[in-house]
Each structure stands twice: as C-alpha cells, then as structure tokens.
Amino acid sequence: MRKLLLFSLILLFMACKEDTKKQPELAEKQPAPKISVKDFFKNSEKSTFRLSPNGEYISFLAPYKDRMNIHVRKFDSDEVTRVTSVEDRDLSGYFWANDDRLVYIRDKGGNENFHLFAVNKDGTNEKDLTPFDGVRAQIIDALQDNEDELIIELNKRIPQVFDPYRLNINTGELELLYENPGNITGWQTDHDGKLRLAYVTNGVDNTIMYRATEKDPFKEVITTNFKQTLAPQFFDFDNGDVVYAASNLGRDKAAIVKYDLKENKEIEEIFMDTEVDVDGISYSNKRKVPTFISYTRAKLNRKFLDKDAENLFKMLEDKLGTDHEYYITSSNKNEDKFLIYAGNDKTRGSYYFYDTKTENLKHMADLSPWLNSEHMAAMKPISYTSRDGLTIHGYLTLPVGIKAENLPVVVNPHGGPWARDNWGFNPEVQFLANRGFAVLQMNFRGSTGYGKQFWESSFKKWGQEMQNDITDGVEWLIAEGIADKDRIAIYGGSYGGYATLAGITNTPDLYAAAVDYVGVSNLFTFMETIPPYWEPYKKMLHEMVGDPSTKDSIMMKQNSPVFHVDKIKAALFVAQGANDPRVVQAESDQMVEALRKNGVTVEYMLKENEGHGFRNQENRFDFYNSMIKFLNENMTKKVKG
C-alpha cells in the first residue's frame, strides 16, 4: 500500500525466463488488416458495470454526446435511464452509495481537483457535494453499511494537507472528524467506519498512528524509513487491535501478514511469494473472511484463502477458459450476485453476471466488440540481463503474420516510474503492432513489485542506470535479430516521456524518432511545480530523484534533457495537456523552445482541455493519428501507415 501511495504520488502519472531466440516465425498467419485509430481508441458502448446493493439494478457508463455518463436499468428490464448528462469530460469514476443514490467523481479539464457528486438512480436530485474551488476530494471509506454518509478527505482548509470529514450524500453536510496537524498524509477506518489509523510523515520517515476507539488519542505504533513497508490493508473482523497488512519489514519481498498494533509486532506471516511482492489481499464483507491474496509475476496470480472464492474463479476458468484474467468488479450486499470482468492481451474484455443461487453465468457486454481478437497480437513475457547483471522483465508484442526479423520497433517505457507494466490488453501497443511495429515494454529497475532492493536501485538514477536498462533492452532486441537498428523509436508518457527525452539525449544514435507524452524535461522545474498536496513528500522526492539544494544539482542537470538538446538527432513529437498538475505545461514548453532555438523542428500538440493524459476521445484520435503519421515520416525506412 505504501508503494501504491508512492506510485500515485510520483505518477506524473516473474514468469520463467524464456528463450527468445526461438521466436515463432508466424508464417502460418496472414498479416492483420489495418484497423482504424477510432476503433482502437473510441469509448466503449458500455463499460464499468456496477450492481446496486440490493442487486435489483445494474448501472454502467455509456456515451452521451461522446462523453461517458452513468446509465441505470432494473436488472430484469430493458428500459434504461441516463442519470448524468456531463458533456465536457468523461466521468472519472462512480459507485452505488445505496439502493437509490449513486456518487460520481469529476474534475475540470484534467486539473485533478476532483469534486464528488451524488444523483438518484432516476436522474433527479443531482448535487455537487464538494463545491469548493481548487479543492481535491478523496474517498476514505464508502461506508457500505451506512446508506446516507461517506467518509472523505478534503484539502480545503490548507492546500497541502487533507482533513477527514463525514459527508451526507443527500444534503452535502460536512462534519470535520479530525483536524490534521499538518503531517498526516493518510487515514484508515475499521469495518464499522470508525477512524482508527493515521499515517504521519516527516518526508522520509513514516509513522503509523493507532487508536482503539474514536474517543482515544492517536498513539504511535511504529516508525520506519519510507523504504520499509508496513501497510495495513484492513482490520481483523472483530475490529480489535489486529490488522492484515502488506509488509517488507525484515524481507526483500512484501508479504501479507497479521500485525498486532497494540503490541507492535507481527504475529503471523500468511503468504509471501519468492519472486515478487504481494499486490494485496481481498475479503468477503458478508462472510467476514479473507478470500485471496494477489501477486503478479508475468501475469496475475492468486493464493486462495477461502474455498468459496477459489470455486468461483475455477468456475470462470472452466466456463470461459484459462487464457483470461478475471476480476470481481461488483457484487450485491448479500454476495450472491457478482459482476465479473474477463480479459486478456488480445481483447479489451467482457462483463459477465453470475448468480450463485441459479449458477447462471450471463454475458453482459463486450468492451470493444468491433475488434477481432484474431487480428490482435500476443503480448509475450520476456526477460533480459542488464549490463550490470540485473534481470529485467518485460513484454514483447510482435505484429501478426510478420516474420520476427529486422522489424521496426517502438520502445515503450512505462510511467511512474515507481509502477510497472502488466500483461493484458493495451490499445496503444495493439495499435502500433497493427501498423507493423514490434513493441518492447520493460520493467526497468525501480519498477514496483520486484522487491525492495530492485526498487531502491532506482534512487537518484533517473537518466542513468534506469535509462541503461531501457537501452540494454533495445540492444538485446537488435542482437536477437528482431529489431532493425535503423528503425527504432521510443515513446512514453509521464516518466516514460522523461525516459523518451533522456533516450534521445543520452543515446542519440539509437533512435530514429521519439514521442514524448506529458513527460518531464527538467528535474529542477519538475521539483518546483509539484502539486501542493505532494509537499509533505518533498524530502522523500529529494532522496528518490535528487535534492537541487545539494551536490545532487550537478547530477540533476546532467540528467535533465532540456540542457542537452544539442545532442538530439532523432525527430521529436511532444504532446501535453495544458491543465496537467503533475507535469505542468512548462515542462514541454521549455523543451520545445530549446529545440527551436537550436534550429530543430519539433512537432508540438497542446490540448487546452486536458491534463495528465488525454481523456476526451477526440483528443485521443488526434494524438494517435498524428503519432503514427509522425513515426512513419521519420523512421529511416518507411512503415506503411
């Protein structure tokens, strides 16, 4: 959980090793037909299905004036009611608060100052519950057993800190539950919705504060350096002193443990994988039992703790196949009706409804029924060795029906950087493969999930060893004979955008073209323009990225691409959202300006109504059409687009 927090903070935004020399020739398959940009990147006809708590209604997002809005129908009826009419931007998320009322979240133009809204299932009584300018609302607890209230946090008192409130979803009335003294960065409730945990930081050290009841003062449980993780997932079901937690204390790989907060000690290790960190643990709210632990090697794995949950997933595999990953996305309060997502690397996925009483599994909708999975490319887990001996895991996607030799390649480093790529459907990757490109994704050092040591090896290594891991992947593809060394491009968003710029400044002869999507260009200005609510983590950022007030400034300048534009040989395309609060517009502006001053032509796409990534589909169409045109025009040997 602590690493997930780091991911959300910094995000500006192990399968067995395979012998890739034995790549399939694919001669038996014909190349896939060209599929339009719109088909890859348009909104689904229906998505994000949810069940009402009583199981009588089903909701979903569907387009209204090209924006994804909430629609509701009674489960046994075909009559659909559109309950929201947002026209400027897709909704960011929603859920059922009770059987009659839904809550949704939205911002303005991508500024990430999210407001919470509530609306009845018939579309009436719509209300902005947090109508405060420049304030970000976040949900602490949806209070599943409380029909009228949520526990949320707002930074309306001080922009840098969040206070917890009890919110009435009918009236918008707010009750302050605790005044944040300024150093609390997170809150957690028990199963009764009582505020029992607070997370404190001084920037580099994290403290868990605990109280037995809401009448008691918070007391320190444990203080650790941010490199160590003790992340409570949920309280044991008697709401006592024990929590289920993810912990890497005394370990390299995070495990699921039971931890006694009162005694400040681990009392049981439940599960640890030998190769990767655990992702988290799930539980049944009705039956009050933990159900399974998730962990991701090349693909998603589960360690089952509950026979009912194990039988449910086995049923899905028996009926739908083992080539999918399955997620329970919603259930009714009785937990006898479930909505399930099934997807893999060749399909955006489908929703199914399962009734445990009738044992009926019903197909609800395909997210992109217009895409033929036979025309999609397989996302193959791979690994290679970095120049200093680390095993780097990743994925290689090869175009359908084309021999895997001397291919044009797009290298696609992920954002974060403290995140990771996962196996599954990726429309960007499939789009590029459909246009004849091989796509290489790698979980370079610092990617999460591979243990503490691998994560820490990225600290203050932006543009250095982290970048070498990317370069080593390219060299590996060339040595394997898969990549044409004259037709290699690099494309990434957020940190991936930074890695794109670092790639064409550090290794200018390696890439023919580059696409930087909302990426950092200057480590100094990036650190100066973080959102106010990231301020408590600034010391941690200094340790992880660099401290400009110390001798790190020399390293930071060496690894800020904006200062090395004279080295660039590759053609560059830059895309940016004007309202981006994480990587502000100035990061792209200064890179483009420096290049143009140097006499270099650079293509620049700026969207005034977007933030950290393009949410509106017309902007996605524009970006990907422009990107493929740019790549085809600037690769040494043209790829037909």
Strands 242-247 vs 230-235: parallel, antiparallel or unpaired: antiparallel
pLDDT tens by residue, 330-357: 999 999 999 999 999 999 999 999 999 9
Distance CA 491, CA 627 (A): 10
Phi, psi of 179 (to 5 degrees): -85, 115
Q: 320, 333, 480, 371: which is closest to 40 by C-alpha?
A: 371
Task: Look up the CATH architecture of domain 387-634.
Answer: 3-Layer(aba) Sandwich (3.40)
Question: What is residue 197's predicted lDDT score, i.e. its pLDDT?
Answer: 98
Distance CA 274, CA 280 (A): 15
Joined tokens for residue 531: 């959102």
Joined tokens for residue 321: 């196949």
Helix boundaries (H) for 480-544: 495-506, 523-528, 538-544
What is the pLDDT averaged over residues 179-203? 96
Residue 170 pLDDT more than 80? Answer: yes
Question: What is residue 426's predicted lDDT score, i.e. its pLDDT?
Answer: 98
Instruction: Name, in order, each residue with C-beta under 8 angstroms of 363's C-beta and a sequence gap of 6 or more.
Output: 350, 351, 352
Q: Residue 563 burial by CB count (10 A; 0-12/13-18/19+): exposed, middle or buried?
A: middle
Confidence at 298, pLDDT banded by 50, 70, 90:
very high
SS3 label, residue 55 = coil
Residue 176 pairs in a beta bridge with 165
End-to-end Cα separation, the chain, in angstroms: 42
Residue 21 pLDDT more than 60? Answer: no
pLDDT tens by residue, 345-395: 999 999 999 999 999 999 999 999 999 999 999 999 999 999 999 999 999
Phi, psi of 556 (to 5 degrees): -65, -35
Residue 482 pLDDT more than 50? Answer: yes
What is the pLDDT averaged over residues 403-429? 98
Residue 16 pLDDT more than 60? Answer: no
Q: 216, 272, 283, 218: which is closest to 248 by C-alpha?
A: 272
The CA radius of gyration of the chain, in Å to the nearest whole number, is: 24
Residue 12 pLDDT more than 60? Answer: no
Instruction: Name, in order, each residue with C-beta under 8 angstroms of 317's C-beta and a sequence gap of 6 or more.
Output: 324, 326
pLDDT tens by residue, 563-617: 999 999 999 999 999 999 999 999 999 999 999 998 888 999 999 999 999 999 9
| Peptide linkage before 417 cis (omega within 30 of 0) | yes
What is the pLDDT averaged over residues 512-538? 93
Distance CA 69, CA 108 (A): 15
Under 8 Å between Cβ of 507 and 471: yes
Distance CA 532, CA 536 (A): 9
DSSP 8-class letter at 483: E
Confidence at 25, pLDDT banded by 50, 70, 90:
very low
Biggest CA pair distance of the chain: 71
Q: Percent of the chain having pLDDT more than 70?
A: 95
pLDDT tens by residue, 133-147: 999 999 999 999 999
Q: Which residue has the tokens 């589960």?
A: 302
Confidence at 530, pLDDT banded by 50, 70, 90:
confident
Residue 111 pLDDT more than 90? Answer: yes
Residue 24 pLDDT more than 70? Answer: no
Confidence at 27, pLDDT banded by 50, 70, 90:
very low
What is the pLDDT averaged over residues 401-410? 97
Residue 69 pairs in a beta bridge with 62
What is the pLDDT averaged over residues 466-471? 98
What is the pLDDT averaged over residues 66-86? 96
Give the CA distances from residue 364 to residues 75, 96, 315, 352, in Å, rounded to whole numbers and listed in that order. Answer: 11, 19, 17, 5
Residue 222 pLDDT more than 50? Answer: yes
Q: What is the mean pLDDT of the chain?
A: 94
Distance CA 587, CA 222 (A): 38
